[in-house]
Chain A
Amino acid sequence: MKTPNLKRTLMGATILAAGLNAAPSFSADITITMAAPDWPPTRFMKEHFDQTYTSPDGHTTTLDMDFIPWPSFYERVAASLTSGEQKYQMIVTDSQWLGAFVEGGYYLNLTDRINEDPELTAIMQDLHPALVSAYSTYPHRTRAQLEEAGVVPAPGVNYYGFPQFPDTYVTFYREDIFCHEGEMAAFQEKYGTNLPCTYEDWQDTDWEKWGQIGEFFLREAGDELAGETLSEPFYGIAYQAGKGYDFSTMQINAFIWQNGGDIWDESKAPEAQAEGVVNSDAAVEAFDQYLSFLQYMPPVAKTGQMDIFVEQDLYMQGKVGAIIDWVGLGEPVLDPNASTVHDKSAFGPAPGTRKDDGSIDRTGNIGGQPFVLTTWNSDEVVNEALNVVKWWLHPDTQIEAVKNGGQSGLMSVMASPEYNDLRPWNRAHVEMIDWQKDVWHIPEFFEMLTQQQEEFDKAITGQIGAKEALDAVAEFQQELLEDIGMIE
């Protein structure tokens, strides 16, 4: 090929080349190319790998990360896989994509290797079962189904992925206003219950109180807030209600599950139905409750554009008192350059639904990403890739990751005494992770998700009601799933 020469000549001639650093070239035995979204948790993985990894098999191993911008990540990976390019040995993936790319023959089934390798078995046993269920199994098995088997790995289950960044949503709140004496007293007087200030208070916060907080902190310009006069309107609460990707489904599913409703349960296919389940009374009631809080949120909620980043921005700019958002978006909140509330923020578990016995159900939809291996590699490469997996899921690496803004899925790491203090949201994250379930993993997930997001968006923007939206979703899913034989 002439290209490199041409390029070198041209680059030599241009001043723009001055800022480049040439990639160091090792005489590598093995190069593992990994598709990764461009953000700190993956950047950390690469940096830490370069600093600490030595192959136990004596290889010289290079981890070559292809950092792809988040918003284009799916397209790039999907195009690479479906074209048969076979470029990547490892891929960071959303758990929902498992079905599509396993069925396509791109993601490597690791069940046998996990069974044969005691080290990997031990890792799987130490991983939180909610994460294993969401990140690793296809066909999808729920946590309950995995735990029923009594052994890890469970027989008859296929395993694929390992946590790269396990994520849950928690409450981000303004300590300065939630712990302000005047506001606390006023709240107590108005609602006969306390304004949540400490972590323990948030553990006892249900959706009813969430609504009260929203109503209570809805302030006009000129009103007082925590002793100061506002120059702009202020809002109490916000959570995701955006049309893009899964930016409303993730929160709405929590409401539905907590209220005793369900989404179409693929782990019970082909018996599980969509009609009558997705649009059950419990689900409609839950969705209505979700919609009822939107009135207290910043006006962007009326446009169906309150995605996970918009609420984060509103919070960081001091326009809203409390939000429910991913732990993965927590770091910028503490950054003085990005956030006006970096020194005023605290974190608690997300609110839930109060049960008859007084306990709170916080079932939520898991976020974050696993990483997987691909199918076209030699045994040598696969083994080395699994060495990288073991390195990544080693407690030392995991603790370092958490120190640098990551999260761990290992129960032993989460149980270590220092864990909760490493980052301010860790305690909430550990509490929340126990409640996580996941949305569907089947190859048709994107079609279902898109249609659902569209109907939810209509309800969020007030074009239709909760019942109408869920009826449309149920009808669509029933037809689609019957077509592909997932419902009989």
Chain B
Amino acid sequence: MAVLPTEKHTSPATPHTRGGFGGWLLDPKRRGALLVTPAIAILFVMNIFPLMWSFGLSFFNYKASSQRVPRFQGLENYQDVLTDDKVWERFQTTAIIVGSSVILQLIVGFLLALLFAKAFPMRRIVLMLVLTPMMLSFVSVGVFFKLFYEPTFGVVSYVLNKISSEPFVMLGSPEGAIAGIVIADAWMWSPFVMLLVLAGLVSVPKYLYEAAEIDRASKWRTFRTITFPYIKSLLLLAVLFRTIETFKLFDIVYIITEGGPGSSTETIAVYLYRTAFQFFKTSQSSALAYIVLFIVIVLTNLYLYAVNRRAAEVD
């Protein structure tokens, strides 16, 4: 089970004073640092070091497919990427997809949470129906949604063809293709939002509602003053995590539309993949990736700043 391994671990803190290196290391002053070390060490080796490596690469003109000795060229890659119209187009597409998908996830996730906030017989089982989508692989979600949309074989198309006289070709237009991707992604991840919101809803002490009932507070007022404060921070966490993850959306797009029609659904993650792995512009793709990272960091910080400020105001 999840938590058992923790108990096997010997505590790094001992009350006895020892001499030498061991004593120095186990000094209570350093306890915090000591506890953080394993996490930082693994992160350093597996994440931070490769990140720095590709950061270095981004200043060269290295191509993984070429034997030429890489030449240092300063900020040229960054300049190239930032002045490339294609890149801006990809960013816009990504913004549209991330924006609409996260909003849809919030709405659907919230509604589902309301549905499951009440206790009812067999809730545990019914809830599993809704939780399952996020346990599927991106690949299988992409493949089957593509099949659902397929004009001849697809279930969705079949049903819609019965209603309308025009054959249903969802992925034939840029708007339809974006909708197709957003629906698949939102379907998969709304349960995640639901889980967080639900956790908030369930935690509201019942006596607060009873008090509200006695005060004859309106439903909206009850929601705003009692329910919302409990789910707010979780909702914010959901937005944060889903935005970060959706920004990286790759497999679903690549499988459902491959960026088409034309380049209308090509997200920055797909473009990055092409530059790095199909075009072998290793250095340039590193530069682009760092720009993406920078944007995500700025967005996250703005977001956290806004949240904290609001929290300060409320307090």
Given the known inter-chain contacts A319-B152, A461-B173, please indicate yes or no for A454 contacting B259, CB distance below 8 A: yes
Q: Is the CB of B167 within 8 A of A457?
A: no
The docked-state distance in angstroms from the alpha carbon of A164 to that of B261 is 34
Q: Is the CB of A454 within 8 A of B263?
A: yes
Q: Is the CB of A103 within 8 A of B65?
A: yes
B76 within 8 A of A: no
Interface size class of B (residues with CB under 8 A): 20 to 34
Q: Is the CB of A317 within 8 A of B153?
A: yes
Q: Is the CB of B279 within 8 A of A303?
A: no
Tell me which of B67, B169, B260, B277 contacts A300 (CB under 8 A): B169
> Interface with B: A9-17, A24-32, A52-60, A443-451, which one?
A443-451
CB-CB < 8 A to A303: which residues of B?
A: 151, 169-172, 177, 260-261
A188 within 8 A of B: no
A49 within 8 A of B: no
Closest to B68 in A: A103
Tell me which of A100, A298, A450 contacts B152 (CB under 8 A): A298
Given the known inter-chain contacts A244-B258, A305-B171, A454-B262, please indicate yes or no for A298 contacting B151, CB distance below 8 A: yes
Shortest distance between the CB of B267 and any CB in chain A (Å) = 14
Q: Is the CB of B262 within 8 A of A82?
A: no
Tell me which of A100, A244, A300, A447 contacts B151 (CB under 8 A): A300
For window 53-102 of chain A, which residues contact chain B by CB distance below 8 Å?
75, 78-79, 82, 100-101
The docked-state distance in angstroms from the alpha carbon of A319 to that of B153 is 10
Q: Is the CB of B280 within 8 A of A82?
A: yes
Q: Is the CB of A302 within 8 A of B169?
A: yes
Q: Mark A288-314, 1 if CB is under 8 A from B, else 0.
A: 000000000011101111000010011
Secondary structure at the A interface, as helix, strand, loop or mixed, is helix
The docked-state distance in angstroms from the alpha carbon of A104 to that of B152 is 44
CB-CB < 8 A to B274: which residues of A?
A: 446, 450
Q: Is the CB of A463 within 8 A of B261?
A: yes
Q: Is the CB of A447 within 8 A of B169?
A: no
A227 within 8 A of B: no
Shortest distance between the CB of A262 and any CB in chain B (Å) = 24
A128 within 8 A of B: no
Given the known inter-chain contacts A82-B280, A299-B152, please indicate yes or no for A304 contacting B65, CB distance below 8 A: no
CB-CB < 8 A to B146: which residues of A?
A: 305
Given the known inter-chain contacts A313-B153, A314-B152, A454-B259, please indicate yes or no for A299 contacting B169, CB distance below 8 A: yes
For window 248-285 of chain B, which residues contact chain A by CB distance below 8 Å?
257-263, 274, 277-280
B17 within 8 A of A: no
Q: Is the CB of B172 within 8 A of A302?
A: yes
Between B146, B150, B153, B260, the greatest number of chain A beta carbons within 10 A of the residue's beta carbon is seen for B260
Q: What are the 8 closest A-B residue pairs judged by CB atoms, nearest first?
A: A82-B64, A461-B261, A299-B151, A458-B262, A243-B260, A303-B171, A446-B278, A302-B172
Residues of A within 8 A of B (CB): 75, 78-79, 82, 100-101, 103-105, 233, 243-244, 298-300, 302-305, 310, 313-314, 317, 319, 443-444, 446-447, 450, 454-455, 457-458, 460-463
A-B contact pairs, 28 of them (CB 8 A): A82-B65, A100-B65, A103-B65, A104-B65, A104-B66, A105-B67, A298-B151, A298-B152, A299-B151, A299-B152, A300-B169, A303-B171, A304-B172, A305-B171, A314-B152, A319-B152, A443-B66, A446-B278, A446-B279, A446-B280, A447-B278, A454-B263, A457-B260, A457-B261, A458-B262, A461-B172, A461-B260, A463-B261
